[in-house]
Chains A and B, each alone.
Chain A
Amino acid sequence: MGEFVVHRVRFFDYMPSAIRAMAFNNRSERLALARADGAVEIFNFADNYFQEKVIPGQDNRTIEALCWVGQRLFSASLNGEITEYDLENLRPRYSMVAYGGPIWTISSNNQGTLLAVGCEDGMVKMFEVLEERIQFQRNLDRQKSRIISLSWHPSGTLIAAGMMDMIRIFDAETGQATHRLLVERGVGASKSKEVVVWSVAFLSDRTIISGDSAGKVQVWDGLTGTLVRTHLVTKWDVLALSVTQDESSLAVGTSEGTVIQFQFLSSTVDQRDKEWVRTRTFKNHSHDVRALAHIETAVISGGMDTQLVVRPLLDKVEKNTQESALRKMAFPHRSLVCCAKKVGLLLFQFPEHLELWRLGESDGHGKPGDSLAVKSKPEKLIQLKRKGEDHICCSALSPCGGWMAYSTVSSIRLYRLQYDNNNVSIIKVSKLPKVLSSAHQLCFSPDSSKLFASSSQSSVIVVALNRSECKYLYTFRPKSGSRQPVHLLSASEDGKWLATANTGCEIYVYNLEKLKLHCKVPVYSSCPTALAIHPVSSNLIMVHADQQIFEYSLVQKEYTEWSRKLQKHGLHSLWLERDTPIVHINFNPRNPAHIILHDTFMFCIIDQSLPLPEAKSLLYNQMTLRSVPESERLRHSHAFKICKNFQHLMCVSLMEDHSLVVVERPLQDIMSQLPAPVRQKKFAT
């Protein structure tokens, strides 16, 4: 492969936001996840846990709870609003004030007809779910303290509400409180503190299970209102609680970062009576577990430490398969870094601002493996704070470094950058075409003459750039009428093609010269995670969430020979077992046979001229190859040259000067910015 000068960049201070709430949609197998900054993410569990959608946050929207009603997603926030999301345009559809102060919880009945929210003023408010909106129906009996948690009985006739020091059961029809379950406070010093019932679950046999701030998980009989069993699971809070759909298992999350599973079992083998028995303890988090979703085969948890953890239950999945592996998702499944290849600039995207950096330089002498002396240090040229209260959802930097753009859900801003020795001037392009109101993805053409912005209903807007003005050219619309957002955009080096992919797995290639659709790539079941057009052969390379790689000839409008060979031969099992998606594809201008890909934990150069790896051969063979004599090396080498020297990759990009930029964000750096955990695991405790 040869020698590369590698810029190892660790100054991208990407800091993910803490996970606050979760809701799993059993029908579509999608997980909705809310973060502390108000962003909502959708993970498709049926498609390798791919993070297919991200709805950016807003300054004062602190989501406390999420709730699916059919395919519609609602959130409740401490600013007192109920928000429904537009999952096609990746924005809030509407927000509605509940007039009850901060909302702590939201829950829908099984029938999907009513939404109940718990408010600070002690009111449980019912909203009717209508076709296009929700409508206030009525209040339940007012309580003295705030409503922290809610759970509907599966029949839809009763609601359990967790409050300070107690749980109330309401008749959903009359709105009257029928039972009052007093929750005991903690012992010792916390005796004087009110106990917060952080979460409740109402089971079909009228059992109520609660988790509270005194560290108890309590099982109540909802018929008589009596306490059945108390499990003291932690010294701190039990924050989250989730029950499987069949009500046979339940998981709770605690402040010390543990997730504890309870199962409904008979305590002795041949006894009929079942009870909730504490069975497993998982410790995959260092901090509070704020959100939990318990599905049939796994426990999904997240919290302060920002990582989403999918912990499969080994008695429910087949052992030693991909499904049985623990997954920790710490990084987004999309690129937050943009490289200006021609000038050595990097654009980092944060929710609040953008940072533009110039790479350092070295004199470039040394032998492989050496660190070179840094002649000039990297330099932060611009820190651009966004306008308005909406967070940045996407950004782009032109390859020449002359243009920069970002978009929020409400607006797009385009800037002209001029470099004058050490001075950088930034000019906002004031007049943008009206049609350019917001974008899911932005991309500049390689010659920096055009800006592509993906818009509503899978459309792509093309804008021509010229000195300091920009002109609307055309809008590409797919024939299928798909409404899914386009999340990937890639223009060919020669300026002829534009490839787009949407979360509906459709990939379209447009001809930019004729301004018309060129072709539609056959739809593959898994969502594309990265695509790029080869500069020489004009082949489209696509990588999907299930790690499959395809090559499609734009000229012949068919899969290439290599792609067919790869499909027939099959990918190496170790390649398929990787658990992070490929997020970026590069090409090596010096060697057209090279394709450079990367995920979070490796980057790979695929050499199309070499044979594909056999199933039994070593996939990660770079180290061993080095020890083999030159003459034999060729015999052992295969198409996948994988480098694992770099970890926690945010971006790998090949510059025009043939140097490689590697942006790392070590997990330890993220962890070190978290507050101190309530409890640290030491030795075997």
Chain B
Amino acid sequence: MAALYEGYSLCGLVQAQNLSNSGIWGIEEERDSDHVVVTDSARSVTLYKVTDQKPLGSWTLKQGQTLTCPAVFNSQTKEYVAVSDNKVIRIWKEENVFLDKAFKSTVSSDVWGIHCAREGQPVVLFQCGAVRVLDSLLSAPQQPIEEVLVQEEAIRWSTNITAETQQFVVFTTEQKGDYFLYLQRLNPKTLQKYRLEREEPGLSPLSFSASYRDKHIHLLYIYPNGHIYQSVVPVRGRGADEGSQALPLPRSQVLRLPVGEGLLEAASALVLDEAHVAVVGVPHPSAGASKDFLCIWNTNFQTLQAGKEMAGKIYGQLWHISNKLFIPHGKTLSVIPYECPKSSLASALGKLRQAKSEEAKAPASVPSWNNILHGEKAQQSRTVETRKTRTNRKTQSTPTLTIDQVLELIKTAPVEEVQKEVEGLLSRVDTQGLQSSVGQLALALVSRSLGDPAFYTPITLSQLVHTQCLCHSLCPDLVLLALERKDYFLCQLCLQFFPDVPEAVTCACLKAFISMSDNDAEKANLDPDSISFMETFISRKRDPAVSQNGFSPTSLEVDLPQALGGSNVKTREEKEKTPAPTEQMCPVGLHKAVLLNEVLQTAYSDTFLLPHLKDLSSQHVVLFLQYLQFLYQKYSQEASPQIDGLRSPSLTQIMDWVCLVLDAHFTVLVMTPEARGLLLNLHSFVKSQVRLVSELGKIEGSLQELNKMKMKMKDFGQYSIELNCL
């Protein structure tokens, strides 16, 4: 989940007369992401160190002059560039104290703004739409500037984008309610023009934001009705046929935000990454009509990820530099750090934690007072212990590493060190911040393991899975890696804790489990709970007195062959020969059974699972079916096969898998001679289930009748005379 952290204020706002304006022209990154240059409309440019919340330097124009565009920092020459009174370009260095004494040069046309990419040349965008590189412009300041825009067309917004080696100036213009996007490439200079689709008449975009990824420029804009659109422009478009002809720009709706009553007045949307958008000035969906909110939305899942109420008026301005958002509100400019970890559906919906396993752990019995006392004591001592270890850890001389350092470490360090550091990190980070870091750690570990056959950290990985903050979509290669390294314990954990294992992977696990030798399986070190379940399950003797729902396997066998005709006499004989105990034998080893159980309990959708199931060989299918049959028989013989608190497949899960496997391999099974007895058996299961259901249907009728009678009994009113036989 994306998160907005506690913000802090960077500086106060110089209030202009009209309150609709925050008074800030722009915020630009200086030498690094911690230094910013803030230009305000009242003649001054200030350099701030963000984390220290303090200004390092400030430059002010003389009275009567005004700054007309945000100052930028040219990182190559360490100079600041700004424009005053539209035509005067000023360039100065940090050590220049007085702006008036700095370099200035007057150009022939009005300047809209200056953009400077990191490690790039400053570029000047004129109000007429022309673009010049600053150096070339300064070599001949009075050079003529061509008109790119037509009459009554004016620039509304501009930015610069660096795409690989290319530098672009992107700007949007308005002409009588129509909006256009210009893509000005520098070196070689080409210009592309697009026409934005019109929203409802009268509505014009409130803000634009552009970003570059995957060889495309993504333009994001928000309308007063809360609709946010995205348009994608290929960088390598039609380089040749440039011209004034505007191509229609297709758009797709990214979000439709609830705006409450009325339209938005000052709002801004900013692309944070491919899936997240920061929006300011739009009401929080669960906090009424107030629009003073900063929210992060996930565009993939259309979910609100984080929200923060901003005190005071919102001006609809928002900047972001590295992982901080800058937002002027009320009388201050605030800095709000944020985080947008890679999101999966599971984490977006907040369903990473498995509800079922937690439920199962809830104590079923009412604890006595003594128990509570002892429990408390035990808990106390445990907390004390952890506190102690924690302090120990703190006092250790080795410095504690941050997540980024650990991630770096994972790329190179030996197994033991990685294990130690990750463990340390996990114990330090509180559960709140765990989710994002766990995903990053797992990804790093898996990619190292995939690349380096000698590197594998089973303990660390299982610890990460145990946090229950991980899911398959966060770290898609983990299960397959575990299979490859024959780490069956990890496989089991993943199947247990991941809510979103894809069917293909489930099937791969199934295939691996069913085909491995029992020797291999016994070596695996599995979850003791599931083993103990299986042990008791296998060893439990059949209780002849108990039969569930009237089902008894003997009666089943008797009426089994009748429907199948004489040709099956042989199987019948075989059946009679085989004594009951062998029937109870588990066809697979204990550990293998435990692993198969885990597969049975994963969530799946049968349409997706079926094609993958077909990959199983007929031999394996028969073995698997035999195991399922064994489970089914055990279940139907015992009144309560499930042991409290232990994970175990349910009868319906078993039946579903039987049906699935049969569906996937029906023709093969029919042709396989050794599968015959098995199929006949399964047929009888189905028959018994059908019979059970029909009996239940009958019971339902009578129960309803009973219920009706009871209903009738209840309504007597104030007075009634009845005839009762006592």
Does the CB pair A362–B721 fall under 8 Å? yes
A54→B322 CA distance, assembly (Å): 82
A605–B724 alpha-carbon span in the complex (Å): 14
Task: Given A268-B373, A268-B377, A269-B377, answer yes or no on A369-B725 (Cβ-Cβ < 8 Å).
Answer: yes
Interface flags for B685-726 (1: CB within 8 Å of A; 0: not) read 000000000000000000000000000000011111111111
With an 8 Å Cβ cutoff, the count of chain B residues facing the other chain is 16
Identity of the chain B residue whose Cβ is nearest the Cβ of A3 in the assembled complex: B725
- The reply to whether B722 and A371 form a contact with Cβ atoms under 8 Å apart is yes
A142 at the interface (CB under 8 A from B): no
**Which of chain A's residues have a CB closer than 8 A to the CB of B716?**
8, 10
Give B644-680 as 1s and 0s: 1 = Cβ < 8 Å from A's Cβ atoms.
Answer: 0000000000000000000000000000000000000
Q: Of A1, A11, A374, A645, which contacts B721 at CB under 8 A?
A: A374
Asked if A173 is at the interface of the complex by the 8 Å CB criterion, the answer is no
A250 shortest CB reach to chain B, Å: 15
Q: Looking at the complex, which one of A268, A315, A361, A643 makes contact with B726 (CB distance below 8 Å)? A: A643
B374 at the A/B interface (Cβ < 8 Å)? Answer: yes
- Report the Cα distance A643→B722, complex, angstroms: 14
- Cα A92 to Cα B722 in complex, Å, equals 45
Q: Are A374 and B723 in contact (CB under 8 A)?
A: no
> Which A residues touch B720, using CB under 8 A?
7-8, 371-372, 374
Query: Is A632's CB within 8 Å of the partner chain B?
Result: no
Whether A369 contacts B377 by the Cβ 8 Å rule is: no
Inter-chain contact B722/A2, CB cutoff 8 Å: no
Complex interface bits, A259-283 against B, C-beta within 8 A gives 1, otherwise 0: 0000101011100000000010000
The answer to whether A7 touches B726, judged by C-beta atoms less than 8 angstroms apart, is no
In the assembled complex, the Cα of A362 lies from the Cα of B719 at a distance in Å of 12
How many Å from the CB of A263 to the closest CB on chain B? 8
Partner of B719, one of A267, A279, A369, A374: A374
Q: Is A378 an interface residue (CB 8 A)?
A: yes
- Tell which of B373, B721, B726 touches A641, judged by Cβ atoms closer than 8 Å: B726
Listed residue (B376, B377, B716, B721) with the most chain A CB atoms within 10 angstroms of its CB? B721
B722 touches A6 (CB 8 A): yes
Contacts of B373 in A (CB 8 A): 267-269
The CA of A370 and the CA of B722, in the complex, are separated in Å by 6
Q: How far is the CB of A409 from chain B (nearest CB, A)?
A: 33
CB pair B723 A3 closer than 8 Å:
yes
Q: Which residues of A contact B722 (CB under 8 A)?
A: 5-6, 8, 369-372
List of B residues within 8 angstroms of A568 by Cβ: none
Q: A10-B717, A268-B373 are in contact. Are A369 and B726 (CB under 8 A)?
A: no
For A1, list chain B residues within 8 Å (CB): 725-726
A360 proximal to B (CB < 8 A): yes
Q: Cβ of A15 < 8 Å from any Cβ of B?
A: no
Residues B724 and A10 in contact, CB atoms below 8 Å apart: no
Cβ distance A41 to chain B, nearest Cβ, rounded Å: 29
Do A370 and B719 contact each other (CB < 8 Å), given the known contacts A268-B377, A269-B377, A279-B369?
no
B66-109 interface bits toward A, Cβ cutoff 8 Å, 1 = contact, 0 = none: 00000000000000000000000000000000000000000000
Q: Please encode chain B, from 132 to 143, with 1 for each CB lying within 8 Å of some chain A CB and 0 for all others.
A: 000000000000
Q: How far is the CA of A268 from the CA of B375 in the complex (A)?
A: 10
Chain A minimum-CB-distance residue to B722: A6
Determine whether A367 belongs to the interface, using a CB cutoff of 8 Å to chain B. Answer: yes
Q: Report chain B residues within 8 Å CB of A4.
A: 723-726
Convert A660-671 into 0s and 1s, putting 1 for each residue whose CB lies closer than 8 angstroms to a CB of B: 100000000000
Given known A8-B716, A10-B716, contact A369–B721 (CB-CB < 8 A): no
Within 8 Å of chain B (Cβ to Cβ): is A9? yes
The smallest beta-carbon distance between A4 and chain B, in angstroms, is 5
Is B719's CB under 8 angstroms from A7's CB? Answer: yes
Question: In the docked arrangement, what's the CA distance between A471 and B16, Å?
Answer: 106
**Complex: A6 Cα to B720 Cα, angstroms:** 8
Query: Cβ of B369: which chain A residues have Cβ within 8 Å of it?
Result: 263, 265, 279, 315
| Contact present for A378 and B726 (CB under 8 Å) | no
Minimum CB–CB distance for B484 against chain A, Å: 45
Residue of A nearest to B715 (CB): A371
A6 touches B721 (CB 8 A): yes
A10 touches B726 (CB 8 A): no
Q: How far is the CB of A131 from chain B (nearest CB, A)?
A: 47
Does chain B have a CB within 8 A of A377? yes
- Residue A629 lies at the interface, judged by CB distance under 8 Å to chain B: no
| Pairwise interchain contact B726-A2, C-beta atoms closer than 8 A | yes
Cβ-defined partner of A369 (8 Å) among B374, B717, B718, B724: B724
Least CB distance from A594 to B in Å reads: 10
Quick check: B725 and A366 within 8 Å, CB to CB?
Answer: no
Closest-by-CB residue of A relative to B380 is A268
The answer, yes or no, to whether A368 is at the interface (CB within 8 Å) is: yes
> Closest residue of chain A to B374, judged by CB?
A269
A374 to chain B, nearest CB (A): 6
Give A211 Cβ to nearest chain B Cβ, in Å.
Answer: 22
**Bound form: Cα–Cα A130–B320 in Å:** 87
Q: Is A449 an interface residue (CB 8 A)?
A: no
Tell me, in angstroms, the Cα distance from A109 to B374 when the chains sit together.
40
Q: How many Å from the CB of B481 to the closest CB on chain A?
A: 42
A268 to B378, CA, bound (A): 10
Q: List chain A residues, Cβ under 8 A from B377.
A: 268-269
Residues of B within 8 A of A643 (CB): 724, 726
The residues in B between 376 and 403 inclusive whose CB is less than 8 angstroms from any CB of A are 376-377
Interface status of A622 (Cβ within 8 A of chain B): yes
A366 pairs with B723, CB closer than 8 A: yes
Report whether A368 and B723 are in contact in the complex, using a CB–CB cutoff of 8 Å: yes
B726 touches A605 (CB 8 A): yes
Given contacts A268-B373, A269-B373, A269-B377, contact A622 B718 (CB under 8 A): no
| Closest chain B residue, CB of each to CB of A596 | B726
Is B719 a contact partner of A8 (Cβ separation < 8 A)?
A: yes
> Smallest distance from the beta carbon of B709 to chain A beta carbons, Å?
10
The winner among B377, B718, B726 for most chain A CB atoms within 10 A is: B726
CB contacts (< 8 Å) of A268 on chain B: these are: 373, 376-377
Chain A residue contacts of B719, Cβ below 8 A:
7-11, 360, 374, 377-378
- Which of chain B's residues have a CB closer than 8 A to the CB of A6? 721-724
Residues in chain B near residue A3, CB distance under 8 A: 723-726
Contacts of B724 in A (CB 8 A): 3-4, 6, 368-369, 643, 645, 660
| CA of A683 to CA of B246, assembled, Å | 63
Give every chain A residue within 8 A of B376 (Cβ-Cβ).
Answer: 267-268
Contacts of A622 in B (CB 8 A): 726
> Quick check: B725 and A8 within 8 Å, CB to CB?
no
Beta-carbon contact of A7 and B725 below 8 Å: no
Measured in the bound complex, the distance between the Cα atoms of B312 and A289 in whole Å is 48
Residues of A within 8 A of B718 (CB): 10-11
Say whether A2 contacts B723, CB under 8 Å. no
Among A8, A267, A367, which residue has the most Cβ atoms of chain B within 10 A? A8
Q: Which residue of B lies closest to A646 (CB)?
A: B724
Bound-state CA distance A154–B719 (Å) is 56
Residues of B within 8 A of A660 (CB): 724
Give Cα A237 to B722, complex, Å. Answer: 47
B721-A360 in contact (CB<8A): yes
Question: Least Cβ distance of B534 to chain A in Å?
Answer: 33
Q: Mark A90-114, 1 if CB is under 8 A from B, else 0.
A: 0000000000000000000000000
- Within 370-395 of A, Cβ neighbours of B (below 8 Å) are at 370-372, 374, 377-378
Residues in B whose Cβ lies below 8 Å from that of A5: 721-723
Q: How far is the CB of A595 from chain B (nearest CB, A)?
A: 14
What separation, in Å, do the CA atoms of A5 and B377 have in the docked complex? 66
- Assembly CA distance A374 to B377 (angstroms): 69
State the B residues within 8 Å of A (CB). Answer: 369, 373-374, 376-377, 716-726
Q: Which chain A residues have a beta carbon within 8 Å of chain B's beta carbons?
A: 1-11, 263, 265, 267-269, 279, 315, 360-362, 364, 366-372, 374, 377-378, 605, 622, 641, 643, 645, 660
Q: A11-B718, A279-B369 are in contact. List 5 more A-B contacts (CB 8 A).
A: A6-B722, A6-B724, A263-B369, A371-B720, A643-B724
Name 8 interchain pairs, CB-CB below 8 A, sorted by A.
Answer: A3-B724, A6-B723, A8-B719, A268-B377, A364-B723, A370-B722, A605-B726, A641-B726
Closest 7 A/B residue pairs (Cβ) = A368-B725, A1-B726, A362-B721, A372-B721, A11-B718, A6-B722, A8-B720
